[in-house]
Amino acid sequence: MTAATVHSARDPWQVRLAIAAHPSWWQERYGDEVAATVADIAAARGGLPRVDVMGLFLRGIALRGRSSIVFWLGATLIGMEILATSTNVEGFHADRAWGSILAHSGWGVMLAVPLVAGSAACATGSRARPGSVRSRLAGLARSAAAVLGFAALGYLTIVVLVVVTSGWPLASSFDLGYTAAFAAMTVSAFGLGTLLGSALPRWLALPAGIALGLLAMISDGWQNGELRWRNVTGSVLTFDANWGAPGTANLHITVVTAAYAGIFLTAALIAVALRPRTLRVVALVTTLAVVIAGSALISQPLLHYVGSRGSDIRGLGELHCAGSAPRICLWPEQDATVGPQMRDELTDLYQRTEAFGFPVAATISSGIVDHPESVAAIWVSSSTRPDSVSMRTFAEAVIGQGACVDQPKRVNPDDQSAANLGLGLLLGGISDSEIARTAGITTVDPVTGKPHQDTAAEIWDYYGIHTKAEAKDAVSRWFAERTTCTG
Amino acid sequence: MQEPTFLVLAGLASGPKHGYALIQEATELTEGRVTLRVGTLYAALDRLAKEGLVVRAGEEIVDGRLRRSYELTGEGRETLDAEVERLRLLSTRVAARLRHARAAIA
């Protein structure tokens, strides 16, 4: 009599799951008698012993983990995700809106990419051994559950930490675009690692997976649309969760990321099913050729399309608007945290700008770009940082009104910069360091070869602004030469 | 020796038993203070089997389910004896100290 002959399908799923969490040797040795013991306890107590079953499940995970490199890589992955987020400038702080929280929590996902690829490569090594196609695919499903489960657990842990640190979201909108993009890039990394693991020996597949993941992590993606391996790796594995307004991912980028994930996962399934190894190497090479060619074909059109279209926006119905001239509209999370301070500052800046006789939109709105309703508004930061509205950002927003629709004259960047600085000076001044940082450039002295950073005085000289009268002239000239969007 | 391990060995002192019977035995020995969890029981049994202190004594199918019983090996019985002796000595010494302490207070 073997244990397998009395295996009972009538056991509750929780019991079967708890037993399945254990390594296969344990399942063969103890699985059926443990199920019988749990059934005895359930009969005696009149119900499933949930604590027992949960403990059994956790022991199974721990037992499996102790002998699995995937487990340790997964634990490292979660640790690195948390570490990466904690060392970020904002730490675990995010704006109190789901979109911002979910996007911010993905900061560590880039770090997860190399480890996911490495874990998948490692886990696949064992499926390169002889066995039926079905058993190899079942093994792939198990390693997918383990590797992707660790990645998801890390992400969810950070989401919880961000919510605990920042507070429960105050805005109701729920954008899963970033989360979908993070999931897709993680699946891409899993697919690539599996491909490598199926085609290469484990000693080579593991470092190759980690190396490609690192290459993707440090890559800028297709910022320049150049066909370089670094660009390709970055775009297919991380394409590109950062394109979008805060809290609202760009749908098209998310779709492209998901498409790459689909290609890699399909190729991984085929490679694991194929025998002998030569065919798996062919699958790896073919897939890489397809993604490189695909990247080359879609990168420029996509960059052009996304660049011309701008980011998707949040629902405007959520904005909290109050007042008139100026009417100030803020997101709920802003209104609840820094709303009073922002409204006071914006009203003061608005009134002083109007006092100079410059045209100012009567509506000051938060976080809206490229939307018909925002044309008649001054755009300000959607951040909840108290210092997010500075003299400079407000001045840029006001001057930006004069460059936002079809103009009779092409915008000269120097004129716009002069107007920005001029209005900043009129409204109370901008610090020298901020001027040098935002308007200055670094040049290399042709004689000495030493770099030179423009000073604030040199910048004022360049734009010909030394007095308030000159500043007013620069701003007036800017508005006189173009229609504004003040509507 | 940890308490669950001791209770598993103690449960097998009177003869071979299967998993659920060992859990009941532990509850009875401790007068309900300890309820062995299934995971704890089989982790202990696996460890004790690897150390050669218990072995499988037989298996039967009851109501369509596998019921496997375990028994102590000679080494397992000696280990249990040694542990019982250690605990007896320990409790004797502690009891003596308590008596002295009470006498001093009186």
- What is the pLDDT averaged over residues A14-19? 90
A195 reaches B (C-beta below 8 A):
no
Q: Is the pLDDT of residue A2 over 50?
A: no
Report how far residue A111's alpha carbon sits from residue A101's, in angstroms, rounded to the nearest whole number. 18
State mean pLDDT over A475-487: 69
| DSSP reduced 3-state for A176 | coil
pLDDT digits (tens, 9 = 90+) for A347-399: 888 888 888 888 887 778 775 443 444 445 566 666 666 556 667 777 877 87
Strands (E), A264-376: 320-322, 327-330, 363-366
Binned at pLDDT 50, 70 and 90, residue A6 comes out as very low
Amino acid A388: pLDDT: 60
Of B23, B43, B67, the CB nearest to A33: B67
Residues of B in contact with A56 (CB under 8 A): 37-39
pLDDT attached to residue A171 = 67
- Chain A nearest C-alpha distance from B74 (Å): 23
Quote the CA–CA distance of A184 and A26 in Å, as a whole number: 34
Confidence band of A176 (pLDDT split at 50, 70, 90): confident
Q: Do B23 and A37 touch (CB under 8 A)?
A: yes
Q: Is the pLDDT of residue A247 over 60?
A: no
- Answer yes or no: is pLDDT of A406 > 70: no
pLDDT average, residue stretch A211-229: 65
Task: Report how far residue A455's alpha carbon sits from residue A435's, in angstroms, rounded to the nearest whole number.
Answer: 8
Evaluate if residue A7 carries a pLDDT over 60. Answer: no
Q: Cβ neighbours of residue B106 under 8 Å, at least 6 residues apart?
A: none
As a whole-number percent, the residues of chain A with pLDDT over 90 amount to 6
In the prediction, which pLDDT does A231 show?
A: 57
- The H-assigned helical ranges of B12-105 are 19-29, 38-50, 74-105
Report pLDDT for A418.
86
pLDDT at B21 over 90: yes
pLDDT at A311: 45
pLDDT of residue A417: 83
Cβ atoms of A295 and A235 within 8 Å: the answer is: yes
- State the pLDDT at residue A303: 63
What does the alpha-carbon distance between residue A136 and residue A271 come to, in Å, rounded to a whole number? 10
Which of A10, A33, A64 has the highest number of chain B CBs within 10 A, making it the mutation to test binding with B? Answer: A33
Question: B18 contacts in A (CB within 8 Å)?
Answer: 33, 37
Contact B71, B16 (CB under 8 A): yes
Contact B54, B70 (CB under 8 A): yes
pLDDT for the residue A371: 40
Residues in chain B within 8 Å Cβ distance of A60: 39
Read off the pLDDT of each residue in B65-87 and give the average, rounded to a whole number.
93
Is the confidence at residue A245, as pLDDT, over 60? no
Question: So what's the pLDDT on residue A226?
Answer: 55
Residues A429-452, mean pLDDT to the nearest whole number: 71
CB A109 within 8 A of CB A186: yes
The minimal CB distance from B66 to the residues A36, A55, A58 is found for A36
- Phi then psi for residue A14, to 5 deg, are -60, -40
pLDDT digits 0-9 by tens, A319-359 = 788 888 788 888 787 787 778 888 888 888 888 888 888 88
pLDDT at site A239 = 59
Chain-chain contact of B66 with A40 (C-beta, under 8 angstroms): no
Tell me what pLDDT residue B11 has.
93
d(CA A248, CA A244): 6
| CA–CA min distance A77, chain B (Å) | 28
Does the pLDDT value for residue A83 go beyond 90? no
Q: What is the mean pLDDT of chain A?
A: 77
- ipTM of model: 0.87
Q: Does residue A443 surpass a pLDDT of 80?
A: no
CA pair distance B70, B79, nearest whole angstrom: 16
